[in-house]
Amino acid sequence: MSVVKNIAIALAFYCFALIQSSFLIHFNIYGFVPNLILISVLLLNLFESPEKKSGLFFSAFGGFLVDVFSNRPIGLNLLIYLVLAFAIKYLLKNHVRISFGKNI
């Protein structure tokens, strides 16, 4: 990824963390708060090539931001998001085969 894309993703994660911790906390849906960082981590790692590692970095960065803006212990969300990203990368690399060729 280019530097501009990395900066844009980092800023988006920062804005999502701010929105999530300050605004979305008031919108409980059956007792749950929407988690924009988790959705972003899932989408980023699902649509990125399994060989690229930027999804892992942004998973750790997003988890760190959620930890900083919450009242839970620092490192818990970072660990959860990083394990989730590793699991997605592992499953996509070893168990999912996507063919884009015209051979049938």
Please tell me the total count of domains within the chain.
1
**100 in a structural domain:** no
**21 in a structural domain:** yes
**104 in a structural domain:** no
Q: Which of 21-25, 57-61, 65-69, 81-85 has the lowest mean pLDDT?
A: 21-25
**101 in a structural domain:** no
**102 in a structural domain:** no
**40 in a structural domain:** yes
Can you spell out the DSSP letters for 14-83? Answer: HHHHHHHHHTGGG--BTTB---HHHHHHHHHHHHS-TT--HHHHHHHHHHHHHHHHSSSPTTHHHHHHHH
With beta carbons less than 8 A apart as the criterion, state whether 33 and 13 touch.
no
Average of per-residue pLDDT across 43-56:
89
Domain containing residue 23: 3-94
Q: What percent of the chain has pLDDT over 90?
A: 56
Residue 95 reports pLDDT greater than 90? no
